[in-house]
Amino acid sequence: MVPTEKRPKVKIAKPFNDEAIEKSVISILRSGMLVQGEFVKQFESRLSEYIGCRHVVAVNSGTAALQVGLQAATVPKKSGGGEVITSPLSFAATANAAIANGLTPVFADVDPETFNIDPSEIEEKISSKTVALEPVDVYGLPADLQKIKELASKNKLPVIEDAAEAIGARSQGKRIGNISDVSCFSTYATKNLHTGEGGFITTNSDSIAEKIRMVRNQGQASRYNQKTMGYNFRMLEICAAIGLEQLDQLDELNQKRREHAKALTEGLGDLESLGFQRVDDPSSHAWYMFSLILDEKQAGISRDKLVQKLKDEGVEADVSWPTPIHLQPFYRETFDYKEGDFPVAEKISQMIFQLPIQPFLSDEEVQRVIATVKSILSSS
Ligand SMILES: Cc1ncc(COP(=O)(O)O)c(C=O)c1O
């Protein structure tokens, strides 16, 4: 047996790379055509085939995707601004994108079992100031999009979905990216499909897609012909080439994640101090992250200590997210949020942690994760 300190780490993320990618990147560098050219076009068209949607627009981050998506699909109130209803249990980018558009993020608490935004909480927050609903597919599990869509239609609101973590996930028999008015994906290095940094937006609306394309490129309808407010959110050719190479393998890679998640659920299912994200249909989940909650009292160890001990043993556990967005210093100061405002999201943030399920883990490594968790919890 290899001593613990000599064994390689069980990594929580391993960005895809292969010889074909390396070749493409070198050929792009030598070509001199570095930004938003043929590779980006091909990446967009292959993604739209994969997802089954009319339009895909590539940008240079998931944050940019959300910012552009919100700008293109919302109509601000005549008095200026408006409110976007979203989840407090997400990455700050979700809410920051609303603020970047002069809109106010309004949070609705999450479901304690799925960790996704609770439609009944959304309903309570809808008012004459609301301009959009922005659900998040947390850790790759689609939000309750059917109910959210119904609420949106009833109130004539667009749904701008934060699908940053959900490429390859499904809902209502369709792929994520083909359901909401606009869906925004991240292709950051750790994501199921990555481009280093990057992201893309999907929509079936021709007019929204046209606006998105303009906003991505300084608001220009054509060269030096600016029709709306815009930015430089263009994607690099090398990023598109990295992403393109992964598309054929994405379903297979996601299937590996699913198998690892199944093994972890079965292997750890008998530990009473652990709880799992409720997933009614495992094949609908993109399994970006495998999330658990720890009952610290029952376990006799704090969540943070457990995560540290796992890391010490070479198992890269993580906490995503230790603080809900409304309790980030900026949000507390700007919007007067305080503890107790969204109790379910706050409780989950205190209990949640993640274990590695990335597709390049071997079965032995997955078993090592299970054995290490069990050994730490049994000695606590
Ligand atoms: C839920 C969520 N929203 C938005 C983003 C922002 O994406 P990016 O980091 O590509 O800007 C992320 C990425 O980490 C995310 O996980």
Looking at residue 213, its pLDDT comes to 98
CA of 377 to the centre of ligand 1 (A): 32
Q: Does residue 346 lie in a domain region?
A: no
Residues 257, 200 within the same domain: no
**319 within 8 A of 351, measured Cβ to Cβ:** no
**88 within 8 A of 255, measured Cβ to Cβ:** no
**Start-to-end CA span in the chain (Å):** 24
CATH label of the domain that carries residue 196: 3.40.640.10
DSSP 235: P
**215 within 8 A of 60, measured Cβ to Cβ:** no
**16-54 pLDDT tens trace:** 999 999 999 999 999 999 999 999 999 999 999 999 999
Q: What is the mean pLDDT of residues 135-142?
A: 98
91 close to ligand 1 (CB < 6 Angstrom): yes
Confidence of residue 294 (pLDDT cuts 50, 70, 90): very high
Long-range contacts of 312-316 (CB under 8 A, 24+ apart): 313/4, 313/372, 313/376, 314/4, 314/5, 314/7, 314/8, 314/9, 314/10, 314/372, 315/9, 315/10, 315/355, 315/356, 315/368, 315/369, 315/372, 315/373, 316/9, 316/10, 316/11, 316/12, 316/356
Residues 167, 312 within the same domain: no
Q: What is the mean pLDDT of residues 207-215?
A: 98
Q: What is the mean pLDDT of residues 192-220?
A: 98
Ligand 1: residue whose CA is nearest its atom 12: 164
**49-78 pLDDT tens trace:** 999 999 999 999 999 999 999 999 999 898
Residues 170, 37 within the same domain: yes
Looking at residue 217, its pLDDT comes to 97
Q: Which atom of ligand 1 is nearest to the CA of 288?
A: 16
Q: Average pLDDT, whole number, for the chain?
A: 97
Residues 131, 171 within the same domain: yes
CA of 188 to the centre of ligand 1 (A): 7
Find the domain containing 295 and state its range: 250-317+356-378
Residues 65, 207 within the same domain: yes
Please state, in angstroms and rounded to a whole number, the distance separating the CA atoms of residues 141 and 145. Answer: 11
**370-380 pLDDT tens trace:** 999 999 999 98
Confidence of residue 80 (pLDDT cuts 50, 70, 90): confident
CA of 3 to the centre of ligand 1 (A): 37
**242-258 pLDDT tens trace:** 999 999 999 999 999 99
Residues 235, 368 within the same domain: no
Residues 174, 288 within the same domain: no
**272-289 pLDDT tens trace:** 999 999 999 999 999 999
Confidence of residue 3 (pLDDT cuts 50, 70, 90): low
Q: Does residue 2 lie in a domain region?
A: no
Q: Which atom of ligand 1 is nearest to the CA of 93?
A: 4
Other C-beta atoms lying within 10 Å of the C-beta of residue 106? 21
Number of domains in the chain: 2
Confidence of residue 2 (pLDDT cuts 50, 70, 90): low
Residues 26, 114 within the same domain: yes
Q: What is the mean pLDDT of residues 263-277?
A: 98
Residues 284, 360 within the same domain: yes
CATH label of the domain that carries residue 284: 3.90.1150.10
CA of 7 to the centre of ligand 1 (A): 31
Q: Does residue 11 lie in a domain region?
A: no
Looking at residue 86, its pLDDT comes to 98
* Domain-terminating residue out of 247, 279, 304: 247
Examine the pLDDT at 5 and tell me if it is beyond 60.
no
Examine the pLDDT at 1 and tell me if it is beyond 90.
no
* Domain-terminating residue out of 207, 223, 247: 247
CA of 298 to the centre of ligand 1 (A): 33
Q: Which atom of ligand 1 is nearest to the CA of 197?
A: 10
164 close to ligand 1 (CB < 6 Angstrom): yes
Residues 242, 283 within the same domain: no
Residues 95, 210 within the same domain: yes
136 close to ligand 1 (CB < 6 Angstrom): yes
**218-235 pLDDT tens trace:** 999 999 999 999 999 999
CA of 90 to the centre of ligand 1 (A): 9
Q: Please choose from 91, 116, 138, 201 the residue to mutate so as to test ligand 1's pocket, defined by most ligand atoms within 8 A of CB.
A: 91
Residues 295, 227 within the same domain: no
Q: Which atom of ligand 1 is nearest to the CA of 137?
A: 1
CA of 91 to the centre of ligand 1 (A): 6
Confidence of residue 167 (pLDDT cuts 50, 70, 90): very high
* Domain-terminating residue out of 189, 224, 247: 247
Q: Does residue 230 lie in a domain region?
A: yes
Looking at residue 4, its pLDDT comes to 54
Q: Is the full-model pTM beyond 0.95? A: yes
CA of 185 to the centre of ligand 1 (A): 8
Q: Does residue 189 lie in a domain region?
A: yes
